[in-house]
Amino acid sequence: MSTETAPATTESVETEHDHHPPHLQHHFVSSEQQFDSAKLGMWLFLITEILLFSALFVAYAVYRNWNPMAFAEASSTLDWVLGSVNTIVLLTSSLTVALSIHFIQKNDKQKTVISLLSTLVLAGGFLVIKYFEYMAKFEHGIYPGEAFAPTGSGYEYLAAIPYVPQFFSIYFVMTGIHGVHVVIGMGLIGWMAWRAHRGDFSDEWYTPVELTGLYWHIVDIIWIFLFPLLYLV
């Protein structure tokens, strides 16, 4: 049985036993290592999210390149005012989530919770606006796919333009998947707010809040691209 032992080894073993913050998992040597790992893991997860959406952007690019007119016509029926408002709503929620990290870094529990809850409210607002947008479309028979059957003034003429359904399919799939991410994000943020309230986090350790924040920003970034491509063609 051979085991190379050297000063460094004992050192790392010691570190582990001397300070043992409650959040430190046994297989990490230090909080720093644990934090760095979590963060790199999160960034890797975020690029999987980006690549997941990339296929939708590619589909968008391909069909828009082929049918620019149909896309322009179809896009003009989307409500750019609501879209802009939603963009601002999400940007604000990004700000509040960034603030929550700022406050937890300063150990200000109350402000952290408030920032997180504001984020939650803004995210909810985004979904409500999105709901009304969807409903306005469904009312006029604008559905993804086969069910697409535009009715009513301002929409009827779409039926005659080929490839308009492609635009709406892409629109619904993209915003739908984005919406699912918003819902998941709300769950995470609510959970973080509760944990922050419970006092789980401090300036020593707030990794989950930071990771949730990263996730939320990516959701925002995807919307930043969706907005001009879908609403402002």
Q: How far is the CB of 65 from another protein (least distance, A)?
A: 6
- Residue 20 structure tokens: 């043992």
Phi, psi of 95 (to 5 degrees): -60, -45
Residue labelled with tokens 């879209």: 83
According to CB under 8 A, which residues from 201 to 220 bind another protein? Answer: 203-204, 213-214, 217, 220
Site string for another protein, 130-149 (x = CB under 8 A): --------------xxxx--
Which region, judged by CB under 8 A, interacts with another protein, from 26-34, 116-124, 128-136, 149-157? Answer: 26-34
Task: Decide: is 110 part of the binding site for another protein (CB under 8 A).
Answer: no
Task: Decide: is 9 part of the binding site for another protein (CB under 8 A).
Answer: yes
Q: How far is the CB of 164 from another protein (least distance, A)?
A: 10
Gyration radius (Cα) of the chain, Å: 23
Nearer to another protein, 134 or 227 (CB): 227
Task: Decide: is 59 part of the binding site for another protein (CB under 8 A).
Answer: yes
Q: Residue 19 in 3-state DSSP?
A: coil
C-alpha span between 185 and 216 (Å, rounded) = 6
C-alpha span between 29 and 227 (Å, rounded) = 44
Which region, judged by CB under 8 A, interacts with another protein, from 61-69, 120-128, 132-140, 182-190? Answer: 61-69
Answer yes or no: are the C-beta atoms of 68 and 162 closer than 8 Å.
no
DSSP code of residue 202: -
Task: Decide: is 228 part of the binding site for another protein (CB under 8 A).
Answer: yes
Residue ranges of alpha helices (H) inside the chain are 7-18, 31-66, 68-76, 80-105, 109-139, 164-198, 207-231
Q: How far is the CB of 143 from another protein (least distance, A)?
A: 8
Task: Decide: is 22 part of the binding site for another protein (CB under 8 A).
Answer: no
Binding-site member from 21, 152, 154, 187 for another protein (CB under 8 A): 21
